Amino acid sequence: MKEALDRVSTGVGGLDEVLDGGLVADRTYMIRGQPGAGKSILGLEFLVAGVDAGEDVLYVNMEEPEREIRQNAASLGIDLEDVAFLDLSPDSEFFAADMSYDIFASDEVEGGELTDRITERVETLAPDRIFVDPISQLRQLSPDEYQFRKEVLSFMQFLKEQGATVLFTSQATATTPDDDLQFMCDGVVELDRTEKGRTVTVPKFRGSGTLDGEHALRIREGGIEVYPRLLPRHHQKAFPNETLPSGVPELDKLLNGGIERGTVTIVTGSPGVGKTTTGVQFMKEAAGRGERSVVYSFEEAKNTLVHRCESINMPVETMMEKGTLAIEEVEALRLSATEFAHMVREEVEANDTSIVMIDGVEGYKQALRDADEELARELHSVCRYLKNMGVTVILMNEIPTVVGEFQLTQAGLSYLSDSIVFIQHIEMNSRMRKVIGVLKKRTSDFERNVRQFRITEYGVEIGEPLDGLTGILTGNPTYENADPGVGSRSRERAREKTRNVFGDDDDRAGKRGPPRQHHAGDDHGTDWP
């Protein structure tokens, strides 16, 4: 049986998760990265976490003066009051004049002033945590590379023997790489700063597994936040196999009762056809059961969505007040895909959210700072995670055409779905109409008819199947038996039925009264509970 290793927190919760619980105690770790990547801030949080745990900690600063470090930390809201310093920065007395070039000569290690000061301070304080920033500064004080590596190894060994967990930073350049330092330590935490944002990876970590891949990092007031990459296989939850109705009887007929819990449904269609409204209809019904839903809006302002829903008898303001609905407007280019996935995970695990809607997929791709292939991979991970947690996912997919040749979804998207609902504009008698149908449902059979679709002042209204029309998905349907010499009586019956279904004016929908809807917990009325 493998013995559990003692862990110490880095001070950054997300990074501890990446490290499977934190750093292994009494070992040495290297933080590397370009200037401004956040190396020193991470070291500060490591020390402050030790202070919070009642430990003694020591900051060995070899480059930046203590006064400036404390000022910079204070600007981020990091309190270093109980952090001890050993200031070996170049402007201290120790680094005066010609004492530096041969400090690490092998025959002078024990007598060198630098070694004496470090040894004395460590033995006096007996710190549990030590942060050396940067250790690569010692390279300038060694006569050659061999001597530098030898003395660094001795230095690290001395600190470990004192019972300390050690972090040190490195500043690599093209002429002086730090590859040798990576071999001397027990683990490497690498910070990077790119056009798509800050990231952290862990290429080396002895004695323990870590979360693979590139994780998002952000520096904010209070310090560093790390957003671990979402790995769906690490998250599972038992949930009932049940169907979630929409509350619109005709839509539920199309879907053989509704959509299943823990599945992904894509609602696809052209701009302005009613995709978002249809998705919110499922959330309205879920609110009647006391379940919470969340909309991540990439393409529409929150206040616009709220106003539009309220105007068609969808009480989203009441739902938000009761906590059964949240609408999160995602600002363009503010988040990476990894940060968004972390946001979704926090929402689901903190609030037991049952339905998540991403509105829409194209907006997701445009708003998040990642390459297309990375975005597709992250969207797949988010959907797989949500399914594993029993969350029902609704994806809004916008196709570019209004009428014309039918397009299912954007390339590479349909494989994510368990169900696909399409809402399509068509042209009938020089008027624009809308139809709805189901193209795919993995979990059960479904109705293969196409029905009329309207959004009225009372919400979503779906008509009877459109018998007698053909070519609906082309956007320009025709009557069956259109040849005037063949089956004219049948053709006229089809026309009459179509006129009865569509009517002469879409405004007639408002004159007929509210559409039939069934809501959870309400078997006798049409008002939302």
Gyration radius of the chain's alpha carbons: 32
Coil vs helix vs strand at 134: coil
The three-state DSSP-derived secondary structure of 296-350 is: EECCCCHHHHHHHHHCCCCCHHHHHHHCCEEEEECCCCCCCHHHHHHHHHHHHHH
Instruction: Quick: pLDDT tens for 476-527.
Output: 677 765 554 444 555 566 556 555 555 544 444 445 556 666 555 443 333 3
Q: What is the DSSP string of 203-257?
A: EEETTS----S-EEEEEETTEEEEEPPP-GGG--------EE--S-HHHHHHTTT
Among 9, 7, 6, residue whose Cα is nearest residue 50: 9
Q: Are 340 and 197 in contact (CB under 8 A)?
A: no
Confidence of residue 447 (pLDDT cuts 50, 70, 90): very high
DSSP percent split of the chain into helix, strand, coil, nearest 5: 35, 25, 40
* Rounded CA separation 26/166 (Å): 7
Between CA 145 and CA 142 the distance in angstroms is 7
Q: Compute the mean pLDDT over every residue in the chain, rounded to the nearest whole number.
A: 83
What is the spatial distance between Cα 69 and Cα 59, in angstroms, rounded to a whole number?
Answer: 10
How do 469-470 and 478-479 pair as beta strands? antiparallel
User: What are the pLDDT digits (tens) for 454-465?
Assistant: 999 999 999 988
Burial of 529 (0-12, 13-18, 19+ CB in 10 A): middle
Question: What is the tens place of the pLDDT at every residue in 231-256?
Answer: 999 999 999 999 999 999 999 999 99
pLDDT at 442: 93
| pLDDT > 60? residue 224 | yes
| Residue 43: predicted pLDDT | 96
- The residues facing 421 across adjacent strands are 267, 438
pLDDT for residue 277 is more than 50: yes
Q: According to the model, what pLDDT value does residue 95 have?
A: 44
What are the backbone dihedrals phi and psi of residue 250, each rounded to the nearest 5 degrees, phi first? -70, -35
Pairing of strands 419-428, 392-398: unpaired
Quick one: tokens of 236?
A: 């599972």
Across 224-228, average pLDDT: 95
Helix (H) or strand (E) holding 382: helix 372-388
H or E segment to which residue 510 belongs: helix 508-511
Check residue 468 and give its pLDDT.
75
* Domain 243-511, CATH homologous superfamily name and number: P-loop containing nucleotide triphosphate hydrolases (3.40.50.300)
Q: Of the candidates 436, 451, 460, which has an alpha carbon nearest to the alpha carbon of residue 516?
A: 460
Domain borders along the chain are: 7-229, 243-511
Token pair listed for 70: 């404390």
Residue 134 contacts residue 61 (beta carbons within 8 Å): no
Is the model's pLDDT at 438 over the cut of 80? yes
Predicted local confidence at residue 194, as pLDDT: 81
Question: Residue type for 56, please?
Answer: D
Q: Domain 7-229's class?
A: alpha beta
pLDDT band at 103 (very low <50, low <70, confident <90, very high): very low
Concatenated DSSP letters of 428-488: ETTEEEEEEEEEEESSS------EEEEEETTEEEEEEE-TTEE-GGGTS-EETT-STTS-H
Tracing tokens 């300038």 back to the chain, one arrives at 140
Q: What is the pLDDT of residue 98?
A: 47
Name the residue with higher pLDDT: 40 or 372. 40
What per-residue confidence (pLDDT) applies to 517? 64
